[in-house]
Amino acid sequence: MLWGRGCTSIPRWSKQYRHLAGIAFLLLGLALPVSFVRAQAAPTPASIRVMVEGKPPMILDRHVLAAMPRASVDTAAIHHEPPAHWQGVNLEDVLQRAGAPSGESLRGHGLATIVRVTATDHYQVVFSLGELDPMLGNQQVLLVDTQDGHPLAKNGPFRLVVPNDKRPARWIHDVSTIEVIDSRTATP
């Protein structure tokens, strides 16, 4: 008797479960594309990877940048235009923190080191470590996160400002990666 009742109740329950499973699949089916679209809708990274050969990678976000010694410059991309007030950190400081040699320790093979900066649109620019070093080229390059006191309004949260370049072609915006690379080749 008990067995009989049990038997009849099984198909009823499984029907209910099938119903629930149907709803669950429907919800999953809706949720997956929504989360996918969300992930796709945020192409601008909120952080920068700094990679020095032989050292652990360093991740920079706006909090890390805010805690570093700040640097600023008043300049315009096109020099006859009115200047903006750019604030951020010295690229040289970033490179030192990530383990790149500088000053007296930048010598010999180190002078063939390049700094390659990559943006989310795959635009890339390079500097030499010697060009940036305070005891060599001493060229000021800023990694900026504010313009006239506000977070950058367009083209990503981080860009370079290169005040002494006569054209702003290395003022790379949407910066995503900074690599310090030994550019030496085996010369014939």
Ligand X SMILES: Nc1nc2c(c(=O)[nH]1)N[C@H]1C(S)=C(S)[C@@H](COP(=O)(O)O)O[C@H]1N2
Positions that interact with ligand X (CB under 6 A)? 77, 119, 121, 123, 168-169, 171-174
> Who's near 97: CB < 8 A, 6+ residues apart?
50, 58, 68
Question: How many CB atoms are located within 10 Å of the residue 22 CB?
Answer: 10
Stretch that binds Mo ion, among 32-40, 49-57, 137-145, 165-173 (CB under 5 A): 165-173
CB 125 within 8 A of CB 131: no
Contact characters 5-44, Mo ion, x per CB under 5 A:
----------------------------------------
Residue 173's binding partner out of ligand X, Mo ion, none, with CB under 5 to 8 Å set by partner kind: ligand X
Nearest approach in angstroms of CB 92 to ligand X is 20
Rounded to 5 degrees, what angle do the CA atoms 40, 41, 43 make?
Answer: 80
Is the Cβ of residue 133 or residue 145 nearer to ligand X in the bound state? 145
Is residue 169 a contact residue for Mo ion (CB under 5 A)? yes
Is the Cβ of residue 46 or residue 169 nearer to Mo ion in the bound state? 169
Is the Cβ of residue 20 or residue 169 nearer to ligand X in the bound state? 169
Look up residue 186 and give its two tokens.
């085996």
CB 73 within 8 A of CB 161: yes
Tokens 């119903």 found at: 19
As to burial, measured by CB atoms within 10 angstroms (0-12 exposed, 13-18 middle, 19+ buried), residue 86 is buried
Stretch that binds Mo ion, among 19-27, 56-64, 74-82, 169-177 (CB under 5 A): 169-177
Q: How far apart are CA 135 and CA 139, in angstroms?
A: 10
Is the Cβ of residue 98 or residue 171 nearer to ligand X in the bound state? 171
Residues engaged in binding Mo ion (CB under 5 A) = 169
